[in-house]
Amino acid sequence: MPRRQPFGVPAMVQDLLPSAGEPAPETLQRGIDLQRRKRFREAEFCYQTVLPRQPKNAMALNLMGTLAIEAQQNETAIDFMKRAVKLEPGNAIFRNNLGNAYNLIGNIKLARKQPRKAIELDGRLVEALCNLGKSYRSQLQGDVAEGFYRRALAVDSHSLTALFGMGDLLTDMGRQAEAVERFGRAIAIDKANVEALSGLALARRAIKGDPALALVQARLELPMTTDRERVILHHAAGKILNDQHEYRLAIRHFARAKAISGNDFDIALHTRLYDSFVATPAFSRRGQSSAIRPNVRSSSSVCPVQERR
């Protein structure tokens, strides 16, 4: 338990934390559920509860890596995920997540190697196909990227990751009508999906009465919306309003996005917090905490656990 709380950092919700003696699998599942709810600090507490007792627990290492990605600590994520892959080289999910981390630091060779191995292990792993699509898109190899996204959608036509990934790619390629169709399909599945709402705003010119603006504003009002998501959504609202010649309102949204972006992640503050209650020697050699700050786009093809289709 925390010995102290740094000023300005709210306490964790104690009722969400594991009880003493809770089995490791239950604690990890608790952490996964919390992570999906964006309760990142409590999720990390769960994973770090397991690791001192089981330092070779590959799932816990993988999960800590996904949290490090959320915190934009990509080198730390790679460190955790490499250990997970070394312990379980036949785990397609771990390899895909490691590839995603390499993609985030611009190591294209390894960013493609790991998802390809993941696909060899599980040809239906949509996240790995999307990660390869994202990698080739980043290198302006649109035709190759499109092939991977199409394979992903052939496996799961309702995959939000594949739909908005394909939409972004089609926008890059100047195929706006097709992009709008993909974003529309994603929004039909999840009308609060930040990536799809943002992509739709960028892919076409909005007209008066565009229903996307109401969806963006509704998403902004949800308490679960993170600061990074708010930046994306304010830019989307500004783009829609600018298209509608509502320039004053558009400028307000752009200004709000800029103001939120200025409140950057305070790594020193969060490091002090985690140093106060996490004592895991195996992960302290860099002196880094994996304190969590959400990252909307970059972690979209990370899968903490595999969802069976």
Query: Average pLDDT over the chain, rounded to whole?
Result: 82
pLDDT exceeds cutoff 80 at 15:
no
d(CA 294, CA 308) in angstroms, rounded, equals 25
Over residues 207-228, the pLDDT tens digits come to: 998 999 999 999 999 988 888 8
**15 vs 135, which has greater pLDDT?**
135
Is residue 216 within 8 A of residue 232, CB to CB? The reply is no
pLDDT exceeds cutoff 70 at 288:
no
For residues 130-154, give the mean pLDDT.
94
Q: How sure is the predictor about 22, in pLDDT bands with cuts at 50, 70 and 90?
A: confident
d(CA 88, CA 83) in angstroms, rounded, equals 9
Q: How sure is the predictor about 40, in pLDDT bands with cuts at 50, 70 and 90?
A: confident
Classify residue 304 as left (phi > 0), alpha (psi -120 to 50) or beta.
alpha
Helix axes 108-121, 92-104, angle to 10 degrees: 160
Query: What is the token pair recorded at 184?
Result: 């529309």
Give me Rg for the CA atoms of the chain: 20
Over residues 111-124, the pLDDT tens digits come to: 999 999 999 999 99
Query: What pLDDT shows up at residue 205?
Result: 92
Query: What pLDDT shows up at residue 41?
Result: 86
Q: How sure is the predictor about 270, in pLDDT bands with cuts at 50, 70 and 90?
A: very low
The dihedral built from the CA positions of residue 11, 12, 18 and 24, taken in this order, carries a sign that is negative
d(CA 29, CA 230) in angstroms, rounded, equals 28
pLDDT exceeds cutoff 60 at 55:
yes
Residue 111 CB neighbours (<10 A):
23
Residue with tokens 């997540």: 97
Which amino acid does the sequence have at 49? T
Is residue 189 within 8 A of residue 158, CB to CB? The reply is yes
**266 vs 14, which has greater pLDDT?**
14
Residues 6+ apart with CB under 8 A from 168: 137, 179, 195, 199
Over residues 86-111, the pLDDT tens digits come to: 999 999 999 999 999 998 998 999 99
pLDDT exceeds cutoff 50 at 6:
no
pLDDT exceeds cutoff 80 at 4:
no
Structure pTM?
0.74
Residue with tokens 């909307």: 296
**244 vs 296, which has greater pLDDT?**
244
The percent of residues above 70 in pLDDT, for the chain, comes to 80
What backbone torsions phi and psi does residue 29 show, to the nearest 5 degrees? Answer: -65, -40
Over residues 163-195, the pLDDT tens digits come to: 999 999 999 999 999 999 999 999 999 999 999
Query: What pLDDT shows up at residue 142?
Result: 93
